[in-house]
Structure 1
Amino acid sequence: MKRVLSAAVVGASLTVLAGGIAFASGGGGGGTPAGGGGNMPSASSPSYDPSIEYAKAIAALKANNYKDAARAAGHVTDVVPKNPDGWHVLGVATAGANDWKGSRRAYEKMVKLAPDDATAHAGLGLALANLKDKKAQAEDDWLKAKAQACGDSCPDAARLKEFTSTVEAAMNPAAGAPKPSAMLDRSLLFGGAKAGDAAYELAVGLINDRRYDEALAALGKAQATFGPHPDILTYEGYTWRKKGDYARAEAYYQQALAIAPNHIGATEYYGELKVAKGDIAGARVMLAKLDRICAFGCADAEELRRWIDAGGDPQKH
């Protein structure tokens, strides 16, 4: 089986809530030009680490500080606009601040990126209901259909029923009834670094056992804790590639590299994906990058070089 990153990196690479963050198999670059003080103010813009901003947003949500939560979540979506978790947190924060138009926009983005995510549809339905928009009924119908298909005994049964009742309460508010909560999924607040690390470590083991669907579920739990972390995104890309969905795999690799352009693991795996797709020229570009950022006997570069030398047949590895 193809080598993947060791689970031993978990504690060092995913501890974002305690302050700083390390990227396994190569973090993002940076620095300033030799002898200079960096770019001129007119040519630069703020650069945010989305994992750190995500942690800030969650901390602000726990404190019911919705304005700061929305600001931090906005930084996440600015850096990785194709990651649904950032839009989820932004949707919760704006709803908490009674900015239902902002919440609607955030959840519309999330639904587009994760069309089968019940939380996204429930959040959108809640926002639409508070805006007195009749389209809320379509989201309620989606949730009911999802609940019916799931059945009473499926793991998400209770959660889906709660989502449906929350949206319907907002659509048809009873006199004197409490306002439906903007926090549709409380798991955002009760994860914590230890739980996130445990989910990540579990995912690594599941990937090595080729239990890819279970691995994706575990990676989703880790990402709900840490946000769009490049190590998690890289593994999601790897897992989707092993499942044969190259388009999804590429999207995850691109997200990881948008956050950490010099992430060695993402660069190698993206090169391997290009080999699998028959794009040998593109794979050589990734290899040249690895030779630049991961010198002195870099195993990642040598692995990708073997893939390329095999003539574009990943089954030889």
Structure 2
Amino acid sequence: MNIKTNAEGQIFHTLLMRVFMAGALAILIASASTMSFAAGSDSGSSDSSGYSTAGTNNSKELREAIKLINRNLFEAALVPLALETMQNPKNADAWNYTGFALRKSGRYDESMAAYDKALALDPEHEGALEYQGELFLTLKQPDKAKENLAKLKQQCSFNCKERDDLMRAINAYNAANK
């Protein structure tokens, strides 16, 4: 791989190094915790986070990232997500999960860029609208979060988890910021 010497290349190199370090950490953590997660780890079920690893269209990298996210290993999840977004740059789900993992890692600017990419690929991506709305709340931009909620209300009808979760987050934000 030829790393560019310009600013874009330096940013890519920095991100690649972060991803490598997070991957090494993930391997150490995963190998230390294999016993506790062995039962049902490939079952396609979801844990309390609600992210299912099932899905016939999900790549190996995306399934691995979701497993790491379910274990709250957000930095480590960026390793398979980086591979997925490089191999499949038009995968809105991968960009959405990248935004989520970055947001949970406190990397808000990068998170916003990932959500923007997911929504550029799929403007009605319910997960990206919800999570970007939650990022807006973190950034103290509730009006933008409400715009995302309005989009979700328009496109969701029954049993819309993303709409309901963002509505709860906005209500909690409003209650905490009276």
Q: TM-score range by the shorter chain?
A: 0.5 to 0.7
Does 1:253 find its partner at 2:115? yes
Structure 1 residue 227, shift from structure 2 partner: 2.0
Superposition pairs of residues 230-249 of structure 1, within 5 angstroms = 230-249=92-111
Q: Distance in 2 between matches of 1:224 and 1:255?
A: 13
Runs ≥4 in structure 1, deviation > 3 angstroms? 107-110
Match of 1:310 in 2: 172
Match of 2:71 in 1: 209
Which one of 128, 141, 154 corresponds to residue 266 of structure 1?
A: 128
Q: Distance in 2 between matches of 1:117 and 1:287?
A: 31
Mean Cα deviation higher: 231-240 or 271-280? 271-280
Output the amino acid matched with 1:206: L
Q: Is the 8 A contact 2:62 2:80 kept in 1?
A: yes
Per the alignment, do residues 236 and 312 of structure 1 end up closer, same or farther by CA in structure 2, a change over 3 Å counting? farther
Output the amino acid matched with 2:91: H
Match of 1:287 in 2: 149
Q: Is the 8 A contact 1:202 1:218 kept in 2?
A: yes
Superposition pairs of residues 1-317 of structure 1, within 5 angstroms = 108=6, 110-111=8-9, 113-116=11-14, 197-311=59-173
Which string of whole-angstrom CA distances, capped at 9 and with x for unpartnered residues, describes residues 92-138 of structure 1?
8xxxxxxxxxx97xx747415424257xxxxxxxxxxxxxxxxxxxx
Structure 1 residue 233, shift from structure 2 partner: 0.6
Consecutive unaligned residues of structure 2, counting only runs of 5 or more, are: 25-55
Q: Distance in 1 between matches of 2:141 and 2:134?
A: 9
**Whose RCO is larger (CA < 8 A, sep 6+)?**
1
Structure 1 residue 269, shift from structure 2 partner: 0.6
**What is the aligned-residue RMSD (CA, Å)?**
2.9
Tell me the TM-score normalized by structure 1: 0.39
Higher helix residue share:
2
Per the alignment, do residues 108 and 228 of structure 1 end up closer, same or farther by CA in structure 2, a change over 3 Å counting? farther
- Find the structure with the greater CA-based Rg: 1
